[in-house]
Structure 1
Amino acid sequence: MRYPRLTRRGSGGPAAGGPNVRTARLRSRRTAALVAGGAIAATAGIGLVSCGSDGSGGPGLSGTAAEAGPKLTIVDPYIPQPAKDGIAAGYLVVRNDGDTPDRLVAVSSPLAPSAALHETVDNTMAHLDGIEIPAHGRGVLARGAAHIMFTDTASPLRKGDIVDVTLTFEKSGSVTVRVPVLGMADRPGDPGTPTTAVPVVPGGDTVPNTWTTGSAGGVAGHAGGHGG
C-alpha cells in the first residue's frame, strides 16, 4: 500500500500559504492597526489636556489673555493754589489704554487727614464712591466736575509746592504721584506750566513723574483743558 507523502513547512501546522494562515495574518494586521490607532488617540488626548489646563485643574490662559487688563496712566495731576488755607482741590486725568475697565476708589495724602472724591453739581458738592475708568477711555477729574477734595490741610499751599497723593484703583492697586501746585488760574499745558504723565505700576510703588514744560498739545488727555 502506498501512503501519500506529507510535506511540512515550518515547525508544523498548516502550510504557510494555506487559507487558515492568510486569515490569521489578516487578523494580526487588523489588531496591530487597532492598537496603533488607540495609542495615537491616547496621545492626542494627553495633548488636549495639556492645552486646556494650567496644572491647577482649571482652564489655562494664553499669554495674550493673561496680559489683558487695565493699563493706566495718570495725566496732568495738579492742585491750584487755594484761595484760602485749610482746603484744596486736586484734578487729573486717568487714561486707560487697556482692554479692561478699572475704577478709582480712594485717595490719600500726607497733605490732609481727609482726602476724598467729590463731585460738583449745581454749585454743591457730593461725595463719590469712585470714578469709572472705561477700557480705552478716560476718567476725568476737572474743575466744576469730579475732583479730589483735601480738607484740614496741614500747611498753606503755594505755587511751586509738590504734594504726594496716593491713588487706589480697584484692579490696578495703588500708585503715589507727585502733584504740583499751580497758580490759581493756571492749568497744565499753559506756557511755562508742566504737563505730566505717570504710568500706574501695580504694587503701590512711587513712580517718578515725567515732566514736560510748555504746550499741552503733545500730551493726550491732559487735564488742563477742562473748564469748570
Structure 2
Amino acid sequence: MRRALLPAAALAGALALTGCGSGSDSGSAEAEVSVSSSYMPQPVSADMAAGFLTITNKGGVKDELTSVTSDVAGQVTMHSTVGGAMEEQNSFAVPAHGQLVFKSGGNHLMFEKLKHKPAQGQKVTLKLTFAKSGPVTVEMPVKSATYNPSTGH
C-alpha cells in the first residue's frame, strides 16, 4: 500500500507544478512603471517652470510616455535636449527593464501657462499617461531654484 501512495503523491505534485508553470512569463509580459526622484525647481518666471523625474519600467515590455498634465499649468510639454538644442517631443519610450530619465540639461518637462507660481516646499500634482500602463499620479515637490539632486541642495 505504501508503494502505491508514493507514485500517486509524485504525480499530484507534478500536476500542481505544471499548473503553476503555465503563466510563468505573465509578470514580465507587460510594462510595470513607477516614478521616483521627481522635483520642480522653484520657477523664476511667473508663467513657466521645469520638472524632472525618473520613470522605471520593471516589466519585460517597453512602454511609452504619451502625455503629462498638471492642474498647476495650462499645458505640460515634454522636451529632449540634444547638443544643447531643446526639442519638443510627443512621446518618450520607456524601455523594458530600463529607465527614462528627465534631468537638468537633458530630457525635461515644461509646465507652461502656470495658473500660479509654485513655491519651495509646496507639491505639484501631475498625471503621467502611458500607451500600455495605466496613468500614474505624482506629487512633485518644489525645491529651491538652485536645487541639485546630486548634492541634495
With normalisation by structure 2, the TM-score equals 0.78
Tell whether 2:92 aligns with 1:144.
no
The residue aligned with 2:132 is: 171
The runs of 5 or more residues in structure 1 that have no matched partner are 1-50, 52-60, 194-228
The residue aligned with 2:13 is: none
The residue aligned with 2:23 is: 63
SS at match of 2:25: helix
SS at match of 2:117: coil
The residue aligned with 1:133 is: 94
The residue aligned with 1:153 is: 114
SS at match of 1:114: strand
SS at match of 1:185: coil
Which structure has more strand as a fraction of its residues? 2
Q: Which of the two has higher C-alpha Rg?
A: 1
The runs of 5 or more residues in structure 2 that have no matched partner are 1-17
Answer 1 or 2: higher relative contact order, Cα 8 Å, separation at least 6.
Answer: 2
Question: Pick from 78, 102, 120: which aligns with 2:63?
Answer: 102
The residue aligned with 1:111 is: 72
| Structure 2 Cα separation of the partners of residues 134 and 66 of structure 1 | 18
CA deviations 1:179-205 (Å, max 9, x no partner) are: 0000112134645x7xxxxxxxxxxxx
Identity %: 33
**Does the Cα contact within 8 Å between 2:57 and 2:95 map onto a contact in 1?**
yes
Aligned-pair Cα RMSD in Å: 2.0
Counterpart amino acid of residue 116 in structure 1: T
| Structure 1 Cα separation of the partners of residues 24 and 109 of structure 2 | 35
| Structure 2 Cα separation of the partners of residues 123 and 97 of structure 1 | 30
Counterpart amino acid of residue 98 in structure 2: G
Could you list the runs of 4 or more consecutive aligned residues of structure 1 that deviate by over 4 angstroms after TM superposition?
none
TM-superposed CA distance for 1:97, in Å, is 1.6
**Does the Cα contact within 8 Å between 2:62 and 2:94 map onto a contact in 1?**
yes
The residue aligned with 1:27 is: none
SS at match of 1:152: strand
TM-superposed CA distance for 1:74, in Å, is 0.4
CA deviations 1:112-136 (Å, max 9, x no partner) are: 1111111234444311021111111
With normalisation by structure 1, the TM-score equals 0.54
- Number of corresponding residues: 133
